[in-house]
Amino acid sequence: MTKSASGSNNDDIIELGLPVNPAYVSAARLTASSIANRMGFNIEDIEDIKAAVSEACTYLIKQNSQNRQSMFQIKFILKNKFLEIFISAKKDPSSTDSDEDGLGILMIEALMDDVDLTTPDDTSIQIIMHKKLR
């Protein structure tokens, strides 16, 4: 489900909830591409944003590999010449990070202007990404 609302600072906010399933990563990529295009990002930046969203979704799906009934949330905040993306999900307590997961995070950091991986509590994980419109 996607919804659009106006934030308190005239920011547009688009939220998307998707099942923890690799089949839905393409929906997240398509949404990110559409938003970035509407904001006026160039094609290279749009491709970077799509790839970063894909990697972030894949990372969170791997963190929830045992819990396919769960959902992950994506929130796009469109500010003036600035895109902020929050991707969050519940974390499977039995999951462990692999070297491959670390490479995915490094790739996201290379594609976006700023990236923060947080675990607000023991049961959830969040990736926050920023990209400036040049």
What domains lie within the chain, and their CATH numbers?
Answer: 2-132 (3.30.565.10)
Instruction: Kindly report, residue by residue over 31-89, the tens digit of the pLDDT.
Output: 999 999 999 999 999 999 999 999 999 999 888 866 666 889 999 999 989 999 999 99
Instruction: Kindly report, residue by residue over 89-132, the tens digit of the pLDDT.
Output: 987 766 666 556 688 899 999 999 999 999 888 788 999 999 99
Assess contact for 104 and 129: CB atoms under 8 A: no
Could you tell me which residues are beta bridge partners of residue 101? Answer: none
Rounded Cα gap, residues 106 and 37, in angstroms: 24
Rounded Cα gap, residues 25 and 55, in angstroms: 9
Assess contact for 39 and 55: CB atoms under 8 A: no
Given a cut of 50, is residue 5 above it in pLDDT?
Answer: no
Q: How far is CA 40 from CA 6, 92, 93, 104, in A?
A: 19, 37, 40, 26
Amino acid 91: pLDDT: 79
pTM of the model: 0.86
Residue among 87, 30, 27, 23 at smallest CA distance from 60: 87
